[in-house]
Amino acid sequence: MGRERMAKHLETGEWGEGHAERFLRGQGMKILGRRVRFGPREELDLVARDGEVLVFVEVKTRRAETFGRPMASVDRHKRAVLSRAAVHYLKKLRFRGLHFRFDVVEVIGTVEAESPVIRHIPNAFTLDPRYQLPF
């Protein structure tokens, strides 16, 4: 993959995450973190609070719907990576007894477009059973 294409890919991802963040804020969520990393491969796109529920958000940005649906790219491996990152987050902040969920936000469009299509899938999947809660 050339540098020019990679730069465009990163730009599109950041653009999609920004739209997802604004969308979730509009839904009344409080954004607690963006691109939260634990190690080289574990990243949470957004961490938010929806009332008393902690929400780990995976953002999927697509140029068009023909490039696939969001849940197709959140396969078993990706769910395991997100689960591991969420457990690290919970351990770090010592959230005892706090309810949490995993959401997926799909952003369809391009950086040049006026308004993307945004779809929110709350409670899209559960914690991978291989990972235990810290408390």
b/e code 56-79 from CB counts within 10 Å (16+ = b)? bbbbbbbeeeeeeebeeebeeeeb
Looking at the chain, the whole-number percentage of residues with pLDDT higher than 70 is 85
> Could you tell me the pTM of the whole model?
0.88
Residue 70 confidence class, pLDDT cut points 50, 70, 90: low
Minimum mean pLDDT among 4-8, 36-40, 59-63, 77-81: which range?
4-8
pLDDT digits (tens, 9 = 90+) for 113-134: 778 999 999 999 999 988 877 5
Looking at residue 129, the DSSP 8-state letter turns out to be T
Q: Which domains does the chain possess?
A: 3-125 (3.40.1350.10)
